[in-house]
Amino acid sequence: MNKLDFIYKRISIRDFEKGDIPAGDLEEIIKAATYAPSGNNAQNWHFVIIKNKKIIEELVNIVENKHKEILEHSKDEKKKERFARYLKFQTAFRGAPIVILVYAGHYNLMEEDLLKEANSESFMEIVTRIKYASPGIQSISAAIENLLLAAASLGYGGCWLTSCNFANLEIEKLINLGKDGYLLVAAVALGVPAKAARVRPSRKPIEEVITLIK
């Protein structure tokens, strides 16, 4: 057994059995997520765990309706056709026994506060680059990856979804979270895989994705 099998066995799962995930396992999965690194140890994440089937179906309806609305306002037929094909991925949490909505809280960029005071064009370029790197969102991404790896290690499947974010305002109204400064950034469908896991899509060769500086 490879020591890193817990990584290699994780793939995106979109078809689930009807069974639930025991509370103890679910707690361990979320706990693993909270052990991810975060800038300044901000731990700027919040997880909304939805097990109510009616609410999950309402989430699907919200995304479908918003998808349709976007298509109606587009004039580019090629783009509309491509976007229409992605609806099944945007609603991949349909049928999942658990949907976890992942929220990100505000992350304070100390460099931005300091460099803004300088009122320098060159310094503002630095601020732009820092924002592009999204340090606060990087912490959320690390937490989601921990969550998925933990789920796979315990025999569950998950799918990381960001494509439903175009309906984030409607989703936030549905769940009425009430946490100031927190915004929806992703959803994770979670459950027992309905069938044997498919082969992971091929990866780029290592040589193609690294630059070695000696």
State how many domains the chain has.
1
pLDDT category, 203, cuts 50, 70, 90? confident
Residue 79, CA distances (Å) to 92, 180, 184 in order: 21, 35, 25
Dihedral sign (CA 149, 154, 155, 161): negative
- Of residues 75 and 192, more confidence is placed in 192
CATH of residue 70: 3.40.109.10
Would 143 be classed as within a structural domain? yes
Q: Provide the edge-to-edge strand list for the sheet that holds 98-104.
A: 45-50, 98-104, 183-191, 157-161
Mean pLDDT computed over 166-174: 93
Would 209 be classed as within a structural domain? no
Mean pLDDT of the chain: 89
First to last CA, the chain: 32
- Of residues 109 and 189, more confidence is placed in 189
Sequence-distant (≥ 6) Cβ neighbours of residue 56 within 8 angstroms: 50, 93, 94, 96, 99
How confident is the model at residue 8, as a pLDDT? 86
Would 212 be classed as within a structural domain? no
- Of residues 5 and 161, more confidence is placed in 161
Would 207 be classed as within a structural domain? no
How confident is the model at residue 108, as a pLDDT? 73
Supply the pTM of this predicted model: 0.88
Would 67 be classed as within a structural domain? yes
How confident is the model at residue 197, as a pLDDT? 60
Which two tokens mark 163?
């494509």
Query: What span, in angstroms and rounded, lies between the C-alpha atoms of 13 and 115?
Result: 44
How confident is the model at residue 119, as a pLDDT? 66
At 79-113, the pLDDT tens digits run 989 999 989 889 999 999 999 999 999 877 766 66
Would 120 be classed as within a structural domain? yes
Which residues span the domain enclosing 160?
5-194
Would 70 be classed as within a structural domain? yes
Would 42 be classed as within a structural domain? yes
Query: What span, in angstroms and rounded, lies between the C-alpha atoms of 143 and 31?
Result: 10
